[in-house]
Amino acid sequence: MIFSDVTLAPADPILGLTDAFKADTRAHKVNLGVGIYKDEAGQTPVLKSVKKAEAILLETEMTKNYLGIEGVQAYNLVVQGLLFGENSHIVSEKRAATAQAPGGTGALRVAAEFLVRNTQSSTIWVSNPTWANHQNIFETAGLTVKEYRYYKAETHDMDFDAMLADLSQAQAGDVVLLHGCCHNPTGIDLSLTQWAQVAQICLDKQLLPLFDFAYQGFGAGIDEDAQGLRTVAAVVPELLIANSFSKNFGLYNERIGAVTVVAEDEKSATNSFSQIKKTIRANYSNPPAHGGLIVSTILANAELRQEWETELTEMRLRIAEMRTLFVNSLKAEGVEQDFSFISRQNGMFSFSGLDKQQVARLRDEFAIYIVGSGRISVAGLTKNNMPAVCKAIAQV
């Protein structure tokens, strides 16, 4: 038999946790594993701006005809506006080309496969630690994955010297995966000075930055969070960007993101983009329309855009509030260890420093689910579940 030799794959470290959470019958269970925003009531509702855009689409949509390989044209232009800002030279000089993709994951996969098939770049450097799916995506596409140091456990802070030291070992043509903002899982981002240094090392050593930009607006704001990307794009001639609207538009299951290539000149951008389209055609032919139409409808309409920005700000501020409350509640529960670093981290996640055993005890004894690395999705904390979570952490 052909299939009888197929072995059982291990459960996905993050989505497998959600399956275990769903199967748990304890009423007080809390899921702080997967990176999904929850409001104060513990829900992940559809944004109001999204609902309004969908109402418009229901009225105006005339066809379900295929999109082009690159997706919704208007969408690809608004994506570039969010990435590079208005009046960007990169856009006006036509050095950037964007294709809609099924989520940030789809965009990363297309970017990786484009590199493998069309360039000499065969090695990608990812931060240690990084999002659990990066290695999986890049290796499946045929890249060799290496790690650069990023995090110092003793200080709960970044280890920038080590990062530079490791990147200085990279060879010309190697790819460097950079988290645009809200680094997953640590929540620790580079400062602008550090971004400039990374840009310089990429330029000097001819390394290709690949930005994974999944949390724009969850750190300090839409433009603020793009400063790292824009700093690097101002220095290096070529880069790739995989961005996602799963989190900042709450469009998780619509699978909406984009892959953008920035090249030295228009001709090179056009050529690269033709190969990106070839990669897409071979994978899923063309993207689903709904998510791209929602995002482009919102961003093209001043009123809806304003409403979306307000909703995004609310999400960002609620997470920031939970960070502070988390630190204070742990202290109030008598936890002696200093957790103040949690309020200095950005985005949905916090690298708590809890070890595998403590994570297992939280799950088995208290029905609190967090990823084995100790990463906590702060966006899943609410005023309601906070006391139980902090009491449990105090006990383990």
Catalytic residues: 131, 212, 247
Does residue 185 have a cis bond before it (omega within 30 degrees)?
Answer: yes
Stretch that binds ligand PLP, among 75-83, 97-105, 270-278, 378-386 (CB under 6 A): 97-105
Site size for ligand PLP (CB under 6 A): 12
Any contact of residue 103 with ligand PLP (CB under 6 A)? yes
- Contact residue for ligand PLP among 127, 184, 345, 373 (CB under 6 A): 184
Tell me the residue number closest to ligand PLP, measured at CB. Answer: 103
Min separation Cβ 244 and ligand PLP, Å: 3
Helix axes 48-60, 290-300, angle to 10 degrees: 110
CB 111, min distance to ligand PLP, A: 12
CA 229 → CA 67, 178, 196, 374, distances in Å? 29, 9, 10, 28
With CB under 6 A as the contact rule, the residue among 31, 105, 279, 345 that binds ligand PLP is: 105
Contacts to ligand PLP from residues 189-218, by CB under 6 A: 212, 214
- The Cα–Cα gap between 382 and 322 comes to 7
Contacting residue, 257, 291, 374, 380, with ligand PLP by CB under 6 A: 257
214, 244 Cβ separation under 8 angstroms: yes
**Restricting to residues 161-180, which ones interact with ligand PLP according to CB under 6 A?**
179
How distant, in Å, are the alpha carbons of 68, 148, 241 from that of 105? 20, 21, 12
250 binds ligand PLP (CB under 6 A): no
CB of 260 to ligand PLP, least distance (A): 14
Closest approach of Cβ 17 to ligand PLP, in Å?
13
Task: State yes or no: residue 246 binds ligand PLP (CB under 6 A).
Answer: yes
Q: Which of 31, 76, 244, 260 binds ligand PLP (CB under 6 A)?
A: 244
> Is 131 one of the binding residues for ligand PLP (CB under 6 A)?
yes
Of 100-108, 157-165, 168-176, 288-296, the segment contacting ligand PLP by CB under 6 A is: 100-108
Residues that bind ligand PLP (CB under 6 A): 35, 103-105, 131, 179, 184, 212, 214, 244, 246, 257
